[in-house]
Amino acid sequence: MQDDAPLGRLEDLPADDVQAMRARNLVPLWPSLRAVLPPQVPTRPTQAVHWAYGDIRPLLMRAGDLTPIEKAERRVLVLANPGHTLEKMQASSAIYLGMQLLLPGEWAPSHRHTPNAVRMVVEGEGAWTLVDGEKCPMSRGDLILTPTGLWHEHGHDGDAPVVWLDVLDLPLVHYLEASYHLNGERQKQRPGRGDRAHTRAGLVPTPVFGGDGPGRRRYPVLRYPWVEARAALQSLAEDRPDREAVQLTYVNPETGEDAENILGFHALMLRPGQTLRLPPRSPASVFHLIEGAVEAAIDAPQPRRFALAEADTCVAPGFSAVTLRNARTDAPAFVFIADESPLHRKLGLLEQRD
Ligand code: 1HN
């Protein structure tokens, strides 16, 4: 049978029949079948969109003047994809993005919720996030997890604004009717520097005597310092000049699995002048430029080309090829990538074309 043979339309049916069906909460499938199951490639409301930090920053600082933290809880400008309508506050079908501002001395109170979050620190020093009792200092480029169900609050002991990019799987969890939060008391900080327990790859803390350890935590690493990730990328690039893609994935070092359940996180280095083509894959991807200057070309559904400056963010829908070009020939570029790949892998939907 022809793949896209025309099917009967709603208008082909007597209005009375349609009305009788609808009155009983019944709908004929065939007029809508192609819309929900298009040939070859999914329909993607997600558009390729670029958010320049130069546009966001003044509006975010103004929000800092206009709205005290007590009136916001989290002072965030959401990076909303017009393809989903701005009201939906989503960057892709599963990804939420927001730029959050915390001013010196402010405190964003403790809560926990079902969606998973991460923070990618964009600007400023002296802020921290307390996650499940563990204090995670925030420096530019650090990735900090606040996985589903863990208490988290933010504070700021420094003297200049701190900004970070929030990435959550909120649109998916909300769609699943599973999104809610609980407010809590100010957390007690665990003693020590838990954020430093796993700082050497391949070395994992273990108890010496059975039953004597603190027990395995589902999320043993909550903070991935940028100095470590950047150094690892540079070693990889130097050591493997044959290798086209210099990429690290943020994982749980005790299981080797993705750092969180639903979204995946990666750090990519582009060598000076390098052009890298990422083939079309089913998940949508977010590209946030940590360092350098990069041109991103996204081929579908509409071809778009973005010049990314430091701290800029863009999203590419699934099933689109993305070509990243380091615009500098004298320095590497570093890109943080968030994607929907763990979700697609777990659902058996992960697919690559070409
Ligand atoms: C949230 O908990 C934070 O804790 C930031 O900083 C953004 C967006 C939607 C839902 C929860 C935070 C959020 C959020």
What are the tens digits of pLDDT across the range 308-334? 999 999 999 999 999 999 999 999 999
The residue length of the chain stands at: 354
Taken in order 276, 282, 284, 290, the sign of the CA dihedral is negative
Cα(66) to centroid(ligand 1), Å? 19
Divide the 354 residues of the chain into consecutive groups of 10 and give the mean pLDDT of each group.
Answer: 82 98 98 97 98 98 98 98 98 98 98 98 98 97 98 98 99 98 93 83 81 74 97 95 94 96 98 98 98 97 97 98 98 98 98 95
97 lines ligand 1 (CB under 6 A): no
Residue 112 pLDDT? 98
Nearest-angstrom CA–CA distance, 337 and 82: 21
Mean pLDDT of the chain, nearest integer: 95
Tokens of 62: 């103004």
Spatial contact of 301 and 315, defined as CB atoms under 8 Å apart: no
Q: Residue 105: CB partners within 8 Å, gap ≥ 6?
A: 156, 157
Residue 199 pLDDT? 80
Mutate to test the pocket of ligand 1, among 113, 163, 168 (most ligand atoms within 8 A of CB): 168
Cα(31) to centroid(ligand 1), Å? 40
Angular region, 8: left φ>0, alpha ψ -120 to 50, beta rest = beta
Spatial contact of 293 and 274, defined as CB atoms under 8 Å apart: no
Nearest-angstrom CA–CA distance, 103 and 186: 19
Cα(231) to centroid(ligand 1), Å? 30
Q: What are the helix and strand counts (H, E) for the chain?
A: 6, 21
Sheet containing 127-131, strands listed edge to edge, beginning at the edge strand earlier in sequence: 134-137, 127-131, 152-156, 107-113, 181-183
Long-range contacts, 194-202 (Cβ 8 Å, 24+)? 194/134, 194/222, 195/134, 195/135, 195/136, 195/137, 195/222, 195/223, 195/225, 197/221, 198/253, 199/225, 199/228, 201/232, 201/253, 202/253
Cα(179) to centroid(ligand 1), Å? 12
Query: Which ligand 1 atom lies nearest to the CA of residue 146?
Result: 4
Question: What letter would DSSP give residue 343?
Answer: H
pTM above 0.75, yes or no: yes
The Cα-based distances of 118 to 159, 166, 170 in angstroms read 24, 6, 11
Cα(153) to centroid(ligand 1), Å? 10
Nearest-angstrom CA–CA distance, 163 and 116: 19
**Phi and psi for 305 in degrees, rounded to 5?**
-135, 125
**Phi and psi for 340 in degrees, rounded to 5?**
-100, 20
Instruction: Indicate the pairing of strand 127-131 with strand 246-249.
Output: unpaired
Q: Which amino acid is at 305?
A: R
Domain at 49-200+211-347, CATH from 3.90.550.10, 2.60.120.10, 3.40.50.300, 1.10.287.3510: 2.60.120.10
Name the residue with tokens 């939907």: 349
Tokens of 286: 């977010």
Residue 212 pLDDT? 54
The Cα-based distances of 122 to 53, 55, 125, 143, 205 in angstroms read 10, 14, 10, 10, 30
| Ligand 1, atom 10: closest residue by C-alpha | 170
166 lines ligand 1 (CB under 6 A): yes
